[in-house]
Chain A
Amino acid sequence: MQTFDLGAEGLRALNSALHALKGQTNMTEWEVINPKGAHAIAAGVDAPVDITVRGSTGYYCAGMNKLATVRVKGSAGPGVAENMMSGTVIIDGDASQYAGATGRGGLLVIKGNASSRCGISMKGINIVVHGNIGHMSAFMAQSGNIVCLGDAGEALGDSLYEARLFVRGTVKSLGADCIEKEMRPEHYAIVEDLLRQGEADTKAKPEEFRRYGSARKLYTFNIDNASSY
């Protein structure tokens, strides 16, 4: 276990050390202490290592993560795991806005609530939120899955493409071109798998979720749909 005191050694030293791990994995356990809400903690890591941050983080924690597992023992600021490529990011507390924005792969787990625009423009990431997700979540979401055990705020899935949204609680409103869709067997399987991966399989069952997706009516501009935008 490598213990890194962020307060004493600074962000540049941390990320530099983590980036240097690419291509070698003999130091797989990392602990970051004294994060004190710093931004860009463990951004750009590209190695199958396990990093535990003991405290809350600022913006863009685990941004563009590849392969690593990053655990935040606190809450995360805006843009956690933005553009994540692969790996796993687990937030014990809440996540601020834009969680998982544009993420391309991997798994983001938020054990508290996620704020607005969770999964905005997501491109393949899977996101499991144990609590609620805020307004405009999954805006322009392209692919991947959101599993929300709580409620969704206004305009869920506005201008959605091919991402799948599974919500257990209420949805305050759906955004443009987002509709409720049938839960078929393959969708129950997806939810079951993500609940397990997201450490939520004891909290909810797949059959409790409803599925939301794109109506695909806005895929090609049509003047008759102008009032939908």
Chain B
Amino acid sequence: MTDFPRTPPRYSATFTPAINAEIRRAAATGIYDIRGGGTKRHLPHFDDLLFLGASISRYPLEGYREKCATDVWLGTRFAKKPIHLDIPVTIAGMSFGALSGPAKEALGRGASAAGTSTTTGDGGMTEEERGHSRTLVYQYLPSRYGMNPDDLRRADAIEVVVGQGAKPGGGGMLLGQKISDRVAAMRNLPKGIDQRSACRHPDWTGPDDLEIKIMEIREITDWEKPIYVKVGGARPYYDTALAVKAGADVVVLDGMQGGTAATQDVFIEHVGMPILACIPLAVKALQDLGMHRKVQLIVSGGIRTGADVAKAMALGADAVAIGTAALIALGDNDPKWESEYQALGTTADAYDDWHEGRDPAGITTQDPELSKRFDPILGGRRLKNYLKVMTLEAQTIARACGKNHLHNLEPEDLCSLTIEAAAMAGVPLAGTNWIPGRNGGF
């Protein structure tokens, strides 16, 4: 028989090995995949934008001589006691329950040392976090786990959570493995059961009700606290406008890269919009209402570097929030635990089964033995370092653009590497003056 060259095996671009593996897993188990984190797919993102830097028309600031301020005020619209942060990088809401007590303590330590805020999460306020966070934002969630007026009053701000980027329109689930005695007591539920967090608030529906709910919270807290409204990246123009109408001091906008402790993979990957597409629409809503910079905008979802911070702010955000990046700074997914990640059937930098409570790094767990591995003092120091680096990086870029405050960055400082990102961000494709979609509505 003649030995002709054979057609090499060719994988389908539709039925990839990963897709096929998921089909087999679903067929074997009968249940969808649940995981933590945000979307893992490729999306138009801040990496697709570049800063132009200074040139003849605008001059730069000297890197180590001329000041580039980074502070931000939040809640200046109605609150008697608005928040003043040294840096515009905040820590996003992550629950005690999803995270260990020491991990919450470390977030508080690191954020306070860097001059920024942390945020509670579904499950209530812990002493670890209140005690170590100079500025603590208390989330008001549909589940109302742990909600009480005393904690409302000892918070520095209150964040009414309507949705989050990983799962706009979805609730939460803390699986029984992570329900320790303490978590169960805080949530007023039996130990060891799967704890569902509702997707809607129990006592209001729609923007008119939200306005009354915000008014009630202001009354309970004597109009002292800034009230944030957090929305997932679904309909950012209208959600922002409605949050402003409802009386928010601050709008928190979370794109689909934003993480979650646990939800269905199909939800994470197929619902919501990337943060790059969300920011310009939210900013436009604020501008159309004459409220840009009066109602502050915090954006989150895939913020990793000072460049991301600077780009988000150039597009009009007042501050950003980080969640996944903060966990990595603490030590999550560190390759030093590789052998244990392998034993769990995964690898460092890909571990996302946070809901199972077996985190080798001891961060996303309630297992007392695993939690002992995590040193909250060291973790806090690492987070502080990381926040400082992000700030320095953002300042470096801002000075190069001739800006003496991060808030002075503007869309005109940016160009885009791709047509998609140019259209989403509303900045010109590099080397052109073309902004796809402009003059044609949005």
Q: Contact residues of A with B, CB < 8 Å?
A: 11-12, 15-16, 19, 39-40, 43-44, 46, 58-60, 63-64, 66, 78-79, 82-83, 85, 98, 101-102, 104, 117, 120-121, 123-124, 139-140, 142-143, 159, 161-162, 219-221, 223
Q: Chain A contacts of B213 at CB under 8 A?
A: 59-60
* Residue B47 CB within 8 A of the other chain: no
* B202-A161 in contact (CB<8A): no
- In the bound complex, residues from chain B placing their C-beta under 8 Å from that of A121 are 143-144, 198, 202
Q: Which of B183-214 contact A (CB under 8 A)?
A: 188-190, 193-194, 196, 198, 202-204, 209, 212-213
- Given A66-B149, A83-B148, A161-B189: A59 and B216 within 8 A (CB)? yes
In the complex, the answer to whether B194 meets A219 with C-beta atoms within 8 Å is: yes
Contact: A120 with B202, CB < 8 Å? Answer: yes
Q: Mostly helix, strand, loop or mixed at chain A's interface?
A: loop
A113 to B173, CA, bound (A): 33
**Pick from A44, A66, A85, A101: contact of B203, CB under 8 Å:** A101
The answer to whether A39 and B212 touch across the interface, beta carbons within 8 angstroms, is yes
| Chain A min CB distance to B253 (Å) | 26
Q: Does the CB pair B202–A221 fall under 8 Å?
A: no
B-chain residues with CB within 8 Å of residue A12 when the two chains form the complex: 219, 223
B343 at the interface (CB under 8 A from A): no
Q: Which chain A positions have C-beta within 8 A of B189?
A: 142, 161-162
Summarize B's interface: helix, strand, loop or mixed.
loop
Are A161 and B148 within 8 A (Cβ)? no
B144 contacts A83, C-beta separation under 8 Å: yes
B225 to nearest A CB, angstroms?
12
CA distance A85 to B153 in the complex (A): 14
A102 to chain B: which residues have CB within 8 Å? 144, 147, 202-203
Encoded as 1 (CB less than 8 Å from any A CB) or 0, chain B from 136 to 178 comes to: 0000000110011100100000000000000000000101100
Residues in B neighbouring A120, C-beta threshold 8 A:
202-203
Q: Does B368 contact A (CB under 8 A)?
A: no
Knowing that A15-B219, A40-B216, A78-B209 touch, tell me 16 more A-B residue pairs with CB under 8 angstroms.
Answer: A43-B219, A59-B212, A63-B216, A64-B148, A64-B152, A82-B203, A101-B203, A102-B147, A117-B202, A120-B203, A161-B189, A219-B176, A219-B193, A219-B194, A220-B176, A221-B194
Establish whether residues A39 and B215, one from each chain, have CB atoms under 8 Å apart when the complex forms: yes
Set of chain B residues within 8 Å of A44, measured between Cβ atoms: 149, 219-221
How far is A19 from B220 in the complex, measured between Cα atoms in Å?
A: 8
Q: For the complex formed, measure the closest distance between the CB of A10 and the CB atoms of chain B, giving whole angstroms.
A: 11
B31, CB-defined interface residue at 8 Å? yes
B147 touches A60 (CB 8 A): no
B440 an interface residue at 8 Å Cβ cutoff? Answer: no
Of B30, B147, B220, which is in contact with the most chain A CB atoms at under 10 Å from its CB?
A: B220
> How far is B173's CA from A101's CA once the two chains are assembled, in angstroms?
20
Tell me if B412 is interfacial: C-beta within 8 Å of chain A. no
Inter-subunit contact B202/A220 (CB<8 Å) = no
Question: What B residues does A60 contact at CB under 8 A?
Answer: 203, 212-213, 216
Cα of A210 to Cα of B188 in the assembled complex, Å: 25
Residue on B with the closest CB to A123? B188
Listed residue (A66, A159, A219) with the most chain B CB atoms within 10 angstroms of its CB: A219
Return 20 A-B CB contacts under 8 Å, by A number: A12-B219, A40-B212, A40-B215, A58-B212, A59-B212, A59-B213, A60-B203, A60-B212, A60-B213, A63-B220, A64-B220, A79-B203, A98-B203, A104-B148, A120-B203, A121-B144, A140-B196, A219-B190, A220-B194, A221-B194
